[in-house]
Structure 1
Amino acid sequence: MEKEELIPTQQIGRQTDAVEEKIFSTVIEAKTAYQQAANRLLDVNKWQRNSTITASSFALFDSDGSPIERLVQQGDYIRIDIPGPGTSAGNGYDWVCIENMEQFSDEESGIEFTLLVARPSKNPSECDDKIAHFFTNQATSTFFVFRRASVLSVEVHGRNELPNTQDQNLLDKVRNLVVNGGSAIGMSFTQWHLLISGILNGAG
């Protein structure tokens, strides 16, 4: 199994990839580190603390829009607070939904992984179905912890990233275009590197 098979196909818009890798002396050490990193990936409410991210924050919500204190599950929502004004559709935040979650382990191949696929979504606390994110819901972010033998990697792969300007009010449309065309995207990429480094190395 190759990692590329786990990532949605790039078809339109921008593609981003953030990868951190670590090689351990033994497979046993790598297995232990994998379990620790996988737990940090699934504990969304602690992403900011575990990764030393200072500019953005993340919080986990259920399908009714209520905050929850547990490890992430498929169908949950993540509220993202990035610097600057947020969307009115998201009550000042950007939102994604975890549309797929998978864990795999195979001793024979020496491969195991934990994977989350997030897609821009509506605000779960609102009846409005408008996408509350600076990307359209064609975009995905694939987060995963992947071990092959003694090599462990933590990765975030963005695919089909397009600015969200359809069915948005004027302020949200302008905001989403600015975010997509300016420093916020570069800052976001930096934040992902901080996140995966913290997940891999246990910052916090």
Structure 2
Amino acid sequence: MFTATYWDERYGSADRVWSGNPNPHLVTVASDLTPGTALDVGSGEGADAIWLARQGWQVTGVDISEVALRRAAEAAGPDLADQLTWQQADIFTWAPEKAAYDLVAAHFVHLPWEDLQALHRRLADAVKPGGTILIVGHHPSDIEAIQRPAHVAVLMNTAEQLATTLDADEWEIEATNPGRPFTDPDGNEVTLHDAVVRAVKRG
């Protein structure tokens, strides 16, 4: 599940994989910020990056899948072309430019813990002083609420665990695990929880 081939096949298996709506945590956080430069990691079909661009941000969307990136560029259309840059990258080895972004966001990028920590450190380095990093993942408690693939379930972390990657002397950190309503495939109403880390770099 960590290869370009896997994700190209996943995106190529359907006309659309995700909802096309921006992540609500991103909307909440970015709505409080002055638009500047943003990095969306694991950008998929581009909903978050496109929403940011429409709010006036200059956005780089990064994903491992060329299929997803092509679909995102098509969804954005020519009107936003000057505000969006799409980049294919393997996030196990890729590193963004340091201190280049006012906002760095990574939503539901689930990797083995050591690899995830390494990625988050590189993303933290990419944030300008005074900038914001937003990390959102699935909370481990979701395993009890809805069936998820076993290979995803073992990669879940709490917000408190995710926040340990950031140095509290360098960041103002807010770690929360908010719940949200969800209808499972059988039509049952359940509550899922997201692990959300929002942090502002000091300086």
Normalised to the residue count of structure 2, the TM-score between the two structures is 0.28
Normalised to the residue count of structure 1, the TM-score between the two structures is 0.27
Which is richer in helix? 2
Greater relative contact order (Cα < 8 A, sep 6+)? 1
